[in-house]
Amino acid sequence: MPVSLLILTTHLRYFLKISKTKLKGPPRNWGPFLLYKLSSVMKFQVNSVSEMHQLGAKIGTQLKPSDVVVLTGDLGAGKTVLTQGIASAFGIENVTSPTFVISRVYKGKPNFIHADAYRLLDFGLESFTDLDFESYLPSSVFVIEWGAAFVTTLTDQYLDIKINQGLTETAREVEINPIGQRWSGFKV
């Protein structure tokens, strides 16, 4: 058995054990990453930059104007790579991290706004609301890194995505939590 499949199998057994859930047949996605689901939270094991980009592209195909995605993860976790994948679903390339400029707007239909709120965390909600993102919301898709503290100033319907280090240097554990009715039935 390949190591990555062994690791995924171990993770699946662990989550099934702690949730006391039984699968009805095999997991839904045996592709480059394995999906296992507990309540509405989806969890993925991603093993490379390419797989992170692919996951982002899958998410991006389901986004529409006024959708907001919040990303949380350590430096180097893959937030920008996931964002690049999401943006690719809209035909947008050359997406870079907005860490030092707070946000980048990529014009299109819809607009794609990539923000990094990390530098705003110590300054309260006003620092975020002063950016006037709500005026762009109806015509834009937002991806906000470190936005959990601020997202409710924009919407109560969003995808909350957490990226954590996996068991190997290149592996990541991605947790997607759909918040609100907009995401009812959302699957990757």
Looking at residue 112, its amino acid is: F
With tokens 């899958």, the residue in question is: 58
> In the chain, which residues have pLDDT < 50?
1-39
- Please tell me the predicted confidence (pLDDT) of residue 113: 93
Q: Could you tell me if 147 and 71 are in contact, meaning their C-beta atoms sit under 8 angstroms apart?
A: yes
- Domain assignment present for residue 188? The answer is no
- Report the pLDDT value the prediction gives residue 27, as an integer from 0 to 100: 44
Cα separation, 64 vs 56, in Å, equals 14
Domain CATH number, residue 35 = 3.40.50.300
Region of 146 (left: φ > 0; alpha: ψ -120 to 50; beta: rest) is left
Q: Is residue 84 part of a domain?
A: yes
Number of domains comprising the chain: 1
In a domain, 102, yes or no: yes
| Of 81, 78, 97, 58, residue with least CA distance to 173 | 78
Tokens found for residue 136: 């762009």
Query: Is residue 145 situated within a structural domain?
Result: yes
pLDDT at 67: 97
Domain residues for 47? 3-183
* pLDDT the model gives residue 55: 97
pLDDT for the residue 57: 97
139 part of a folded domain: yes
* Residue 144 belongs to a domain: yes
3-class SS string, 126-188: HHHHCCCHHHCHHHEEEEEECCCCCHHHCCCCEEEEEEEECCCCCCEEEEEEEECHHHCCCCC
SS3 state at 103:
strand
